[in-house]
Amino acid sequence: MVKIIMHGCNGKMGQVITGIVAADKDAEIVAGIDIVDNRQNPYPVFTNIDDCNVEADVIIDFASAKAIDKLLDYVETRKIPVVLCTTGLSEEQLARVEEVSKKVAVLKSANMSLGINTLFKVLKSVSPLLAEAGFDIEIVEKHHHFKVDAPSGTALALGDAVNESLPEKYEYKFDRSQDRIPRPKNEIGFSSVRGGTIVGEHDVIFAGEDEVITFSHTAYSKSVFAKGAVEAAKFLKGQPAGHYTMKEVIG
């Protein structure tokens, strides 16, 4: 049984994870942390993380970047491993994550979905073969109209998974509107679509002579990220200090 503290328990993702863990016989949320205690939860909720003295194996974080500094202090002091899912961290906060990971286990990935992280693994395997055969590489990502960054962090991570496997690094191309030249071979193009309530769609396209191979991932709800976070928490229990990613979770 993995005992979990849910950091950001009353947010959308915190509540999704609460529901997933409630149906999981191998995990239990023993406490929650949130700026307000305005929901009915089956565990105690603390509005100040420093007041939380509940014993736990792992913390799952789905809060806001503003709350990360106190969380990292708490993790470092209590020596409780943490699955960091909050995005938009500053360079200073990312440096602090690296510092804390030298003393306690920290898991942070660009995307918590098990499917996306499996796709990372597949791309590292097939990309050298297809690139050598002359296939052009394009990445198309689609998200809801509230998403402000483009391309998505996951799209960039997919590009990195491809690029890291190639003997010669490709350039990233984010905008072709000003170009009037044929497409160079050694580049990875990124395209972004924003609209409606699209949770997340990513296509990695390998376009060759007379054939196209597309690797696609579609998230139909945010629960895919929540499920990945719970699996990460199970993995992180008892792990030694270090910076882990979902790559270690899927093996």
Give the angle 94-97-98 at the CA atoms, nearest 5°: 95
Identify the CA nearest to 85 among candidates 60, 113, 48.
60
223-236 helix and 12-22 helix, angle to the nearest 10 degrees: 60
What's the rounded Cα separation, in Å, for the pair 167 and 243?
Answer: 26
Instruction: Look up residue 245 and give its two tokens.
Output: 């990613």
- What is the CB neighbour count within 10 angstroms for residue 87? 13
Residue 23: phi and psi, rounded to 5, are -100, 5
On whether 197 is known to bind a ligand per the annotation, the reply is: no
Domain 1-110+220-248: top CATH class: alpha beta
What average pLDDT does this structure show over 119-130? 97
114-132 helix and 153-164 helix, angle to the nearest 10 degrees: 40
Extents of the domains making up the chain = 1-110+220-248, 113-217
Give the angle 75-12-238 at the CA atoms, nearest 5°: 30
On whether 48 is known to bind a ligand per the annotation, the reply is: no
The beta strand positions in 124-199, using DSSP E, are 136-143, 171-173, 187-194
Q: Give the pLDDT confidence of 155-195 residue by residue, as tens digits.
A: 999 999 999 999 999 999 999 998 899 999 999 999 999 99
What's the rounded Cα separation, in Å, for the pair 44 and 23?
Answer: 18
What average pLDDT does this structure show over 80-85? 97
On whether 183 is known to bind a ligand per the annotation, the reply is: no
Average pLDDT, the chain: 95
Check residue 247 and give its pLDDT: 87
Check residue 88 and give its pLDDT: 80
Does the pLDDT of residue 248 top 80, yes or no? yes
222 band by pLDDT with thresholds 50, 70 and 90: confident
On whether 86 is known to bind a ligand per the annotation, the reply is: yes
Instruction: Look up residue 221 and give its two tokens.
Output: 């709800």
What's the rounded Cα separation, in Å, for the pair 133 and 144?
Answer: 35
60 band by pLDDT with thresholds 50, 70 and 90: very high
With tokens 């402000």, the residue in question is 148
On whether 227 is known to bind a ligand per the annotation, the reply is: no
Q: Give the pLDDT confidence of 1-23 residue by residue, as tens digits.
A: 999 999 999 999 999 999 999 99
Kindly list the catalytic residues: 143, 147
Amino acid at 98: E
Which architecture characterizes domain 113-217 according to CATH?
A: 2-Layer Sandwich (3.30)
Instruction: Look up residue 9 and give its two tokens.
Output: 């328990």
